[in-house]
Amino acid sequence: GEKSMREAVSLFQRGAIYARRGETERSREFFQRAAAALPGFPEAHLGLGHIALREKHYTEALEHYLQARDGFRNLGDKLYDLRVERYRDAREEVDRLRDVMTELDNPRLKILNRDMEKIRLEGEIRKLELVRLPTPGEGLEPPGEVFFYIGNAQFHLGMLNEAVGAWEECAKKAPDFPLVHNNLAIGYLKLGRVDAAQLSVDRAEKLGVAVH
């Protein structure tokens, strides 16, 4: 009900703050509590999936991402306000990280590995830019980014066909999401689909991602 949703959102938001600070154990604790407060709460499972993926626990990551996908479908329009709020938070964080990147250009700042730090920040910004503003009425459909993460976990588990299928679903739902075209290029190449790989490379580069 409404009370469970409010509790889950509050716990998730605290977990997200710890995640931004790099405090993995604290963020995991709050994401787990959010998932317990509202079974199937997708944001909590996305957070837990990201932690598992970073720790190379790929089977666990995939389970959480699939639970997130199902949670978006099952909880439907109740999540609309949360997704709007998440979009706003993501935009604010992108603005903050861009300010940090501008600061890095200050030669008076003593910073080790300035270039590496810029690459890390660019990666964080790209991830945040995946978060799309939802439209009313799309509540029963998981956002495209969920399928991107499902595909990533499947790819690490050697499930290449399934990963490509998930990335294709992401590209269909969010065609301007650049990272998925990068991953599709790799997936198609591994499947021997060279023409499709080239199309994905072209699409990624048009969207500003250099494909290696």
- Quote the Cα angle for 163-57-142, to 5°: 45
Q: How far is CA 104 from the centre of its chain?
A: 25
Question: What is d(CA 44, CA 9) in angstroms, rounded to the nearest whole number?
Answer: 9
Taking only the tens place, the pLDDT of each residue in 14-32 is 999 999 888 999 999 999 9
pLDDT digits (tens, 9 = 90+) for 110-137: 777 788 888 888 888 888 887 878 776 6
199 pLDDT more than 70 = yes
Alpha-carbon 76 to chain mean position: 19
Instruction: Report how far residue 183's alpha carbon sits from residue 185's, in angstroms, rounded to the nearest whole number.
Output: 5
